[in-house]
């Protein structure tokens, strides 16, 4: 591609993202963003009061595979210009989880009424970025093919605790034939800021998952007779740590309903 | 490392290789070379009459994962200077398989009496090269830890046939915890000339292996309760194709008893 072609390529992606974010902002789109705006980074969202932000930043630093930071705002700043020039974190996520004292009290499609000058936004990379890379490598991503949210599970694998945040790792699961599973490991290794390589493969019992058909978050996705489940660390991991840390207020995305950015997935790639 | 240190490093490896090859040449060492001369490339051996050599070369080109060529001799030339300045293929392999009309008729520790001006030697990369890379990555390689030959199986996975060579793929198996299996895939991906990434993981039944405890070549290596078997294409694959092609004479190494070269494993690495 010459320079103009690259520019046209990205311009087409950005128009898709802007259209989707507009629908999200006005409340027309409140679903899972899996498979939407392919080619662009989607992010997990955690919003905390500034006196909790430093310890959460430490938690992310300790757990970079489940919590790969791609942006942190200044306190009170709702815009995220490094991820897109019109992103307002108060209204650009399809649906929010609101935690009060660590309890999920309700969901919302807009959090302007909860915003204040102390709020700090953390955006973490998301496996949806590598789903596009898997598809470009010729692999089928079952949850996208079925139009469902990915299956997510709270495992028995502990995170490294910060002072107040602690808990087990949440994973996403995608089924593949053994040969495709090997290829999926290679492809996602290139994307450390989108959780990178899987952290587990086969044998869900070894990481505390008793029943693959009953995910703790997202939708059930069938595993074929000739397939094995492949597990990646998930940006919903902080939501478990938030339940345990009990900050007075915390706002996250609803699992699967991510912030869509203007940045290219390939910007997250090494090699 | 400075230049002198690198030179001393390689010099130490070469002395180990020369000592080992001398013991092999005089018949003092006739065992598996797994775990010996770490750091240096070991090779699978196929020796064929020149009128069969071109079709075998085509077979290797069609099946580069199981048959990664690292050297081919001129007809009648027993030396392989590109792999080591004192290698004589007629006596530097611990033990040879001799196939007459495709049948394994006997083994030998020297093939000088079978050598003639028509013989062409093929050396194929070997998984023992990546075993060292796995160990350097902090992984345990069970067959080395137990002092056994690796387990090898003839699978139901067909190779791509040349005019006369055809048959199923032979694989090696190494057991790992799921997390180590993922790391092993990453590490071996860097070594395409040593069979590269695995071709299968978990579920031996899907590739026609009914009983992991009864390998077709090599030794039995136990798989732990919390482990999964990982399968790499193996340079014994040609020995199955030779059985099927029935050349009048063919000489190979005995599985696990490889040619030890003077070349560094890292010379096979990409990235």
pLDDT, tens digit, 9 for 90 and up, residues A58-86 = 999 999 999 999 999 999 999 999 999 89
Predicted-complex ipTM score: 0.86
Q: Which of A169, A171, A174, A185 best probes binding to B when mutated, by most B CB atoms within 10 angstroms?
A: A185
Domains A3-126+238-266 and A128-237 share a fold: no
The H or E element containing residue B232 is strand B228-233
Read off the pLDDT band of A34 (50, 70, 90).
Answer: confident
Residue A175 has pLDDT above 60, yes or no: yes
What mean pLDDT comes out for the span A145-174? 97
**pLDDT for res A268:** 87
A204 to chain B: closest CA residue: B178
A-chain residues near B226 (CB < 8 A)? 203, 206
| A182 touches B: beta carbon within 8 Å | yes
pLDDT at A9: 85
Check residue A3 and give its pLDDT: 59
**Residue A6, pLDDT score:** 66
Q: Choosing among B176, B178, B202, B271, which should be mutated to test the A contact, i.e. which has the most A CBs within 10 A?
A: B178
The residue-averaged pLDDT of B152-158 equals: 98
- Whether B202 sits inside 8 A of A199 (CB atoms) is no
Residue B6 in this model has a pLDDT that exceeds 70: no
Percent residues over pLDDT 70 in chain A:
98
Angle at which helices A128-136 and A178-189 cross, to 10°: 120
Residue A4 in this model has a pLDDT that exceeds 70:
no
Considering only CB atoms, A185 lies closest to which of B182, B202, B206, namely B182
pLDDT band at B23 (very low <50, low <70, confident <90, very high): very high
For B233, the 3-state DSSP assignment is: strand
Mean pLDDT for the stretch of residues B76-95? 96
pTM to 2 decimals?
A: 0.90
User: B128-237 — its CATH code?
Assistant: 3.30.2040.10
- Which residues, 6 or more positions from B67, have their beta carbon under 8 angstroms from its beta carbon? B59, B60, B124, B235, B237, B238
Superfamily of domain A3-126+238-266: PSTPO5379-like (3.40.1640.10)
CB of A197 within 8 Å of a chain B CB? The answer is yes
Question: Between chains, do B202 and A201 touch, taking CB under 8 Å as contact?
Answer: yes
Contact between residue A244 and residue A165 where contact means Cβ atoms under 8 Å apart: yes
Task: Specify the 3-state DSSP secondary structure of B255.
Answer: coil
Chain B residues touching residue A197 (CB < 8 angstroms): 182, 186
Res B4: pLDDT: 66
Domains of chain B: which residue ranges? 3-126+245-266, 128-237
Is B181's pLDDT higher than 60?
yes
**Which residue of B lies nearest to A199 if distances are taken between CA atoms?**
B179
Residue B3 has pLDDT above 70, yes or no: no
Mean pLDDT across chain B, nearest whole number? 95
Whether residue A271 is predicted with pLDDT greater than 90 in this model: the reply is no
Q: Are B113 and B219 in contact (CB under 8 A)?
A: no
**Mean pLDDT value across residues B161-169:** 98
Local structure of residue A265 (DSSP, 8 states): G
Residue of chain B with shortest Cα separation from A189:
B186
Q: Tell me whether residues A202 and B201 touch, CB distance under 8 A.
A: yes
B3-126+245-266: CATH topology: PSTPO5379-like (3.40.1640)
A1 CB within 8 Å of a chain B CB: no
Q: How far is B83 from chain A (nearest CA, A)?
A: 30
- In this complex, do B206 and A197 lie within 8 Å of one another by their Cβ atoms? no
Quickly list H helices, chain A.
3-25, 50-62, 128-136, 142-145, 178-189, 237-245
């Amino acid at each position: 591609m010459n320079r103009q072609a690259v520019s046209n390529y990205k311009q087409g992606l950005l128009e898709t993202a802007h259209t989707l974010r507009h629908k999200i902002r006005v409340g027309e789109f409140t679903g899972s963003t899996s498979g939407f705006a392919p080619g662009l980074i989607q992010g997990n969202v955690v919003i905390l009061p500034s006196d909790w932000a430093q310890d959460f930043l430490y938690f992310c630093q300790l757990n970079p595979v489940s919590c790969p930071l791609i942006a942190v705002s200044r306190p009170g700043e709702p815009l995220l210009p490094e991820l897109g020039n019109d992103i307002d974190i108060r209204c650009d996520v399809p649906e929010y989880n609101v935690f009060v004292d660590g309890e999920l009290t309700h969901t919302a499609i807009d959090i302007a009424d909860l915003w204040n000058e102390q709020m700090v936004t953390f955006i973490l990379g998301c496996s949806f970025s590598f789903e596009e890379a898997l598809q470009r490598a010729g692999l089928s991503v079952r949850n996208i093919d079925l139009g469902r949210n990915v299956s997510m599970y709270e495992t028995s694998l502990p995170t490294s605790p910060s002072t107040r945040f602690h808990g087990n790792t949440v994973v996403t699961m995608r089924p593949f034939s053994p040969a495709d599973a090997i290829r999926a490991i290679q492809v996602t290794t290139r994307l450390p800021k989108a959780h990178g390589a899987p952290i587990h493969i086969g044998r869900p019992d070894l990481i505390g998952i008793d029943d693959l058909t009953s995910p703790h978050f997202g939708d059930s996705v069938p595993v074929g007779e000739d397939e094995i489940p492949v597990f990646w660390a998930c940006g919903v991991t902080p939501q478990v740590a938030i339940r345990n840390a009990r900050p007075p207020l915390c706002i996250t995305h609803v699992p699967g309903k991510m912030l869509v950015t203007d940045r290219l997935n390939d910007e997250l790639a090494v090699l």
